[in-house]
Structure 1
Amino acid sequence: MTTTETPGADTVRPRWGAERIGNAIFAAVVFGLGVFALVGAFAIRVPAGQAIGPQVFPFAVAVILLGSGAALVISALRGQVAPREEGEDIDPDAKTDWWTILKLVALLVAVLLLLELLGWWMVAALLFGGVAWTLGAKRPWVAFLVGLVIGIGTQLLFGEGLGLFLPRGAAFDWWYGPGPLFG
């Protein structure tokens, strides 16, 4: 009689330690974002007579987030923990840099608060440059300029080219005048 060994049958699942709890929290956040995106996609009003409306992309993002979140939740509940990264420039014992995370969260909150006042193109520059500065860019002013180009480019592409609404900023109403540009 021969015995066959099942791979992984004798492996011990890890207890609910910090890594496993962290994976479960991340999985729940991804799944929650998927639910949030799905609810938001249903809230988008579609003009009558459009076969493909503005809901398509949000629904696709919601499905991807829900699927990824569900897979992550299942793997976290099964105890499958991602292996620690190894490499010559990675310190596995490094602590979380909460100051950097706080600055990034503050930048996102600032974007939400300043979007209507400054407009998309200016807020995009602030976000792009601010994130580069927070993450240690050697020349953050270049990142601000790149963000400004990206902000103006997306404003022109989506606002003017596709007719989608991107706020131009109440602070700059005196500059725009009555013309359609950035309106």
Structure 2
Amino acid sequence: MTTRTTDVPPTPGDPRRSWLREHSELGVCVMLLALGVLVLTDALTMDVEITQRGPVGPKTVPVVVGIGLLVIAALLAVDVLRGGRGEAEGGEDIDLSEPADWRTVSLLAGVFLGAAVLIEPLGFPIAGALLFWGAAFTLGSRRFDRDPLIAAVLSLVTYAVFNNLLGVPLPGGPLMGVL
């Protein structure tokens, strides 16, 4: 009498699980593929005014980036399936046997989400300063005399460059009239 093994979940010694572990870089391929499709979909459905000043319109760069992501995903998948593996850098000091530091990852995600929520009511200079200082604090810097000052200067310079020099309008918030 034979038993069906298709209904049995994979065990730790299962060859399917081993194959996936050996080809884990395919996860990066899937992510690049999804990102490329998202960028292309967004670029091709973008509402753009008919008038443009040159041969390169606002859709050109996103389309090129989306196509590039798809090509890189395909090339990486072919390389991985042919046996290629990513090699760790010689100078990397990461111990892969240690678990991930989810506290730091969660705090950084919270800092980024907080900045995204605060950018509209407070403006980029304040939200950006909170973002830069929060990231520095989360990553271990405890220089309370220096870090907020560096974060404020970095945020103001970034705001001035994008808003005034590059012509990319950022929300100014309460500082709109000052800068």
**C-alpha contact 2:36 2:70 (8 A) present in aligned 1:** yes
**C-alpha contact 2:132 2:155 (8 A) present in aligned 1:** no
Match for 2:48: what amino acid? R
- Residue 33 of structure 2: aligned partner: 31
- For the pair 1:135 / 2:152, whether they are aligned, the reply is no
- For the pair 1:107 / 2:121, whether they are aligned, the reply is no
Task: Choose which of 106, 127, 130 in structure 2 pairs with 1:126.
Answer: 130
- Residue 21 of structure 2: aligned partner: 18
TM normalised by structure 2 equals 0.69
Q: CA deviation digits over 1:45-85, x for unaligned, max 9?
A: 35613213444443444344333333333334444332355
User: Structure 1 residues 96, 123: closer, same or farther in 2, change over 3 A?
Assistant: same
Distance in 2 of aligned mates of 1:60 and 1:160: 27
- For the pair 1:154 / 2:172, whether they are aligned, the reply is no
User: Structure 1 residues 96, 147: closer, same or farther in 2, change over 3 A?
Assistant: same
- Residue 48 of structure 2: aligned partner: 45
Distance in 1 of aligned mates of 2:158 and 2:110: 23
**C-alpha contact 1:111 1:127 (8 A) present in aligned 2:** yes
Provide the aligned C-alpha RMSD in A. Answer: 3.0
**C-alpha contact 1:27 1:69 (8 A) present in aligned 2:** yes
Stretches of structure 2 lacking an aligned partner (at least 5 in a row): 1-16
| Equivalences, count | 161
Distance in 1 of aligned mates of 2:169 and 2:50: 15
Q: CA deviation digits over 1:91-123, x for unaligned, max 9?
A: 231211111111222222222222211212222
Distance in 1 of aligned mates of 2:68 and 2:145: 35
Aligned to 1:116, what secondary structure does the other structure show?
helix
Q: Which moved more, 1:25-34 or 1:64-73?
A: 64-73
Identity %: 32
- Residue 3 of structure 2: aligned partner: none
